[in-house]
Structure 1
Amino acid sequence: MNRFGKTLLVLALVAVVAMAFRVSWNALRDVATAVGADTTGATLYPFVVDGLMALALVATLVLTDRADKKFALRVLAAYTVASLVLNFVHGLVPELHGRSVDWTRLADWDPVNWLLVLLATSLPVGSIYFGSDLVAKVLHHRSIDPADAEESTPIDMERSTPDLPAPALTPVPALTGQAEADRVEQVDSPAETAPVDPPVARAVAADQSAPRRVTGRVPDAARSTRPRRTADELMAEARQVTESWSVEQLTAEGIRKALRTSPDKARMLRDTLRAERTATAAPEPLGAAS
């Protein structure tokens, strides 16, 4: 709809509301006169009831908080029902039209009459309270500018990677231990090992760059149940395991995996076993020459 159409629609709505208010104003004025209001009070009484309805409607459209919007809707519904009841009473009591009804007499049955008089006289007090509350909520309301909302989204998207919170790095024990062993073995004997894979190298670099956290004493339940072997026991087990191995197969990595020991001890065992194999094989040429 173009601007001209919207303008016509708003003008038509204003005209309809003005005519409806004029009809309701006549009924509410006669009811106010019946409950004891003077000429000026009876003339202003419709503005108290129907005017607060208009204020509650505007507050409902302006407020964005769910609790405040619900409060404005309740005020709007309550005063709409009250205006409807008083207009209905005005239609049922013809004496109100000619102002010949007895003072404060809106119904023949006393309990209903008391309720109607209470309703008619309490609406101005309610307008003061609820109207003030609605105006305060509207004045203290802070609306979100759509331009600011659209501007805040690209700011978060344009943040660089260092500005974003970095997730905590989780150490990978298996990859780290494997990479450390391969790196040590490559230093001792470059020809015996393959180069470290790039993913493992990145895991080692990430683990080394991350700050290590100070830990306390390892609980007994988490400790290994395998008894610690002495140097002699480890050497005897290494001789037994590598008895059928050739000299080329005597690598620190192979011994470490077979005996499940540290790289340092594996290198020591490798050097010892190679020395024993060399000492054993050295006298054979002398015996063959003799």
Structure 2
Amino acid sequence: MNLNRKGRGALVLALVVVVGMAFRVSWNALRDIANAVGADETAARLYPFVVDGLMALALVATLVLAGRDRTFALRVLGTYTAASLVLNYVHGLVPELHGRSVDWARLADWDPANWALVLLATSLPVGSIYFGSDLVAKVLHQRVTSIDRPNANAEESTETAINRSTVDLAESTPAPVAANPRELPRPVTVGFLKSALPLKPAPAIEPGPGDSIAPVAVAAESTRPRRATGRVPDAARSPRPKRSREQLLAEARSVTAEWPVEKLTAEGIRLAVHTSPKNARMLRETLRAERAAGDGAAA
């Protein structure tokens, strides 16, 4: 941890040294540009702080602000960086600017370019006042907001986590329906009842002379299978006799008599005999052993 802190301190110190030397190089060019556009000696010395100083302020603001304010600080940083680069480039192209302290000079031979450069050089101080004040106000406003609401970010993150967990929760499994202890009649479907029980046609009743037959609504027979709406009680289930091992083995021998050995699998036997996987594995081993013993006797 100590080495890490020392490394960070050395890195920050080296960065400060490099930025200071770069500012000194840029300060010479910006001072001569300020002299060329009519600034006095004191204003020309302070002019580099106006341009490059706002760049440093915007850089610090990008580390503090967030969202749209951070985007605004990045735009200010980019704009003033480009302006300082243009002015340094012009200073290198025009030798007459070097060493001048009071005399005015043209920044370009072409009049429209000279007017644009003069406008750029003279507008940077005004822009520094406006953009610098706006950046400082944004930083102070965000600091005051964070002080007034110290737990705002924690509350927002907690609320987001709660909302997200609520949405992502899987549907809860409904509780099993308790079976009714009373014996219930065995449920049958309409189709099964129609096919299993022979229905006798009801005798026709002829209306009397004074009687009137009212129309009776009859429900249409549905051909679609009914969907299970819940757990069927144990009392309503059809009892299935439990077969012994010998009965299962005899039924499996009958069903698989003509099966090849490769087809004697637990899944195939389970589906053919309608038994449990455990019994199916037992039947498979028994049948294969019998087949192997029969083949050995035949040989």
Name the TM-score, length of structure 2 as normaliser: 0.50
Q: Is contact 2:97–2:105 with CA below 8 Å preserved after alignment?
A: no
Among residues 40, 46, 49, which one is paired with 1:47 in the alignment? Answer: 49
1:116-156 deviations in Å (ceiling 9; x for gaps)? 11110000001111111111111112459799639964997
Match of residue 126 from structure 1: 127
* Structure number with higher helix proportion: 1
What's the % identity of the aligned pairs? Answer: 71
The answer for the alignment partner of 1:92 in structure 2 is 93
Matched with 2:215 is none
**Residue pairs, 1:173-184, within 5 angstroms:** none
- Structure 2 counterpart of 1:31, one-letter code: I
SS at match of 1:99: coil
Q: Distance in 2 between matches of 1:154 and 1:136?
A: 29
Give 3-state SS (helix, strand or coil) of 1:60's partner. helix
Paired residue type of 2:100: R
CA contact (8 A) 2:32 2:101 kept: no
**1:35 & 1:155 partners in 2: Cα distance?**
56
Counterpart AA for 2:44:
A
Counterpart amino acid of residue 85 in structure 1:
V
- Is this contact kept in 1: 2:96–2:105, CA < 8 A? no
Question: What is the root-mean-square deviation in Å for CA atoms of aligned residues?
Answer: 4.3
User: How do residues 1-290 of structure 1 correspond to structure 2 at under 5 angstroms?
Assistant: 2-65=4-67, 67-99=68-100, 103-141=104-142, 142=145, 149=154, 153=158, 190-193=182-185
Post-superposition shift, 1:46?
0.3
Question: Alignment partner of 2:106: what SS?
Answer: coil
Q: Distance in 2 between matches of 1:41 and 1:15?
A: 25
Separation in structure 1 between the aligned mates of residue 61 and residue 49 of structure 2, nearest angstrom: 17
For residues 117 and 192 of structure 1, the distance between their equivalents in structure 2, rounded to whole angstroms, comes to 100
- Give 1:14 deviation, angstroms: 0.2
Report how many residues are paired: 181
Shift of 1:103: 1.8
Match for 2:35: what amino acid?
T
Q: Gaps spanning 5+ residues in structure 1: where?
A: 165-175, 195-239, 245-256, 260-290
Report the alpha carbon displacement of residue 94 of structure 1 after superposing the two structures with TM.
1.4
Equivalent position amino acid for 1:68 in 2: D
CA distance in 2, matches of 1:76, 1:68: 12
Retained in 2: the 8 A contact 1:95–1:101? no
Q: Distance in 1 between matches of 2:129 and 2:184?
A: 93
Deviations 1:233-274 (Å, cap 9, x if unpaired)?
xxxxxxx96999xxxxxxxxxxxx9x9xxxxxxxxxxxxxxx
For 2:35 and 2:184, the matched residues in 1 are separated by: 111
TM-score by length of 1: 0.52
TM-superposed CA distance for 1:78, in Å, is: 0.7
> 1:104 touches 1:117 (CA, 8 Å); kept in 2?
no
Distance in 1 between residues matched to 2:92 and 2:157, nearest whole Å: 57
For structure 2, list consecutive stretches of 5 or more residues without a partner in the other structure: 168-176, 187-197, 203-218, 222-299
Aligned-pair distance for 1:102? 5.5
